[in-house]
Structure formats: structure tokens, C-alpha cells
A and B are shown apart, each in its own frame.
Chain A
């Protein structure tokens, strides 16, 4: 059983969670001033790294809160879970 640590509830089964895509992406403050390419880059382009990956997860079947996770895409090892706003990027 793959366990994911919710910052509030602790370790729970993966089946309680849903994945919310790459984390640490900041919405541009002034979208009007972006070129189409820059806007498309914000909307669609993701890093898809081999190794440490910042992710958003939702504890869907538990406390239903969003939080951040740093997961290794090769080993699935989760190095940390954190409350959003407490350091999405180091």
C-alpha cells in the first residue's frame, strides 16, 4: 500500500487522495501583459522531471484539503508534504 502524508491527517492510503498536477506554479499577476506564448507556457507547459517533482495533492476522501508534495518520479519516494503557502518553492 502506497502511503501519502497529509499535513493534517498523517499517512493515509493513496486511494484517499487525488492528484492535482504540478505544484509551485504561480499565476501571472497581470495576464493582460503576457504574450500568447507566455500565457500558453503558464497554462500548458510542465517540467515533467526525472527525479524530484513538486506536486499538488488533495486529500479527497479525508479532510479534503489541498497540500504540496515533493515526490521522486523515479522511486515514488515522497521527501516532504507541506501546507500550501508554507514554502511551495524553496
Chain B
């Protein structure tokens, strides 16, 4: 699937060219699987079962991230995005499915539909701010925060994780080439 994807979009070549020109680094995180989890925090047992299965806390504060073996983004009061090593994603989805089988909950493997990009560089905040109305000031968009918004009109989930000038941007696969073309123009 990875090869097919790279051929289709030519992402790798575009990224290599771009990195050498801008001093920015961007990497396609094909190593990550994406699971969407829905469930009711008010339902007894949901939180404990989900956290035990994943092995780390679900972030409950809006727009925050829980980082561990997986990276979990708050998407809504009853919705999370779990980024986990690609080879483990299907297995984790099955485990969640069974441990939450008595809950009003849903686990969906959305790895095929979206892709994560890691953006790093001194001016990463400036670049993001160019196409997004969120406040990217280092004292506002601090590490461990995330948000869903529009970046150059594409729907994205953005998270600050792993350092001051490092962001994860999650976008639909079909928008990835467009978004890179836009980043190319801005950076």
C-alpha cells in the first residue's frame, strides 16, 4: 500500500526537493496507523476498559494529546484519534472492539483514509500560521495541545508534540499532495 501511495502522489520526491530548499523537514509518517475511537465517558466502565486496552490515558481535556506508545488526540467529547505503530493498528482495533463490546462505542481503522506528516523547523509556526487561523504562539499552542482546523482550506488535525518546533499534521490522503504543494509555496 505504501508503494502504491508514493507512486500515486510522488510525495517522497516532492518532500526531498522541498526539504533541501527550505531547511524545513517534513516526513510522511507511513509508520503510523490511525484509529478513530468513539465512546461515552459518562458510561460506567468505558474509560477504564479503553485505557487498559490501549495502555495509556485517553485525553479528556479538549484539544489535548496523551503521548505514550500511542499518541492519542482529543477530537471531541466522545471521540479520539489514536496514532499507533502501523503494524499494531489492526490488532489494537480488534482488542478495542472486543473490550468495548458491551459499550455504546465504536472503533474504526481509518489508516487508509488519512495520513500524518511531521513538520519540523525553526519557522514551522510561522508557516502554519500562514494558512490557519489558530494562534501558533509558543505560549499558546504549547506542547501536548492539538486542534482540528483548516490549513489552507484543507481540514486538518494539528498537534504540537515532541518539541517546540515540531508538529504532527493529519490530513486526508487525497489532500496530502495539495497541502504539500501549498507548504512548498509558503515555505
A65-B133 contact in complex given A9-B63, A15-B150, C-beta closer than 8 Å: no
The distance from the CB of A68 to the nearest CB of chain B, in whole angstroms, is: 15
Q: Which residue of B lies closest to A11 (CB)?
A: B135
Residues of chain B lying within 8 A (CB to CB) of residue A8: 62-63, 76-77
Other A-B pairs, 11, CB within 8 Å; known A62-B147, A62-B149, A63-B77 = A1-B133, A8-B63, A13-B133, A16-B133, A16-B149, A61-B148, A61-B149, A61-B150, A63-B62, A63-B79, A64-B76
26 interchain pairs, CB-CB under 8 A: A8-B62, A8-B76, A8-B77, A9-B63, A9-B147, A10-B62, A12-B133, A12-B134, A12-B149, A13-B133, A15-B133, A15-B150, A16-B133, A16-B149, A16-B150, A61-B148, A61-B149, A61-B150, A61-B155, A62-B147, A62-B148, A62-B149, A63-B62, A63-B79, A64-B75, A64-B76
Interface size band for B = 10 to 19
| Residues of B135-158 whose CB lies within 8 A of A | 147-150, 155
The distance from the CB of B133 to the nearest CB of chain A, in whole angstroms, is: 4
The distance from the CB of B51 to the nearest CB of chain A, in whole angstroms, is: 20
Contact A65 B150 (CB under 8 A): no
C-alpha spacing A8/B62, complex, angstroms: 6
C-alpha spacing A61/B76, complex, angstroms: 12
The distance from the CB of B48 to the nearest CB of chain A, in whole angstroms, is: 23
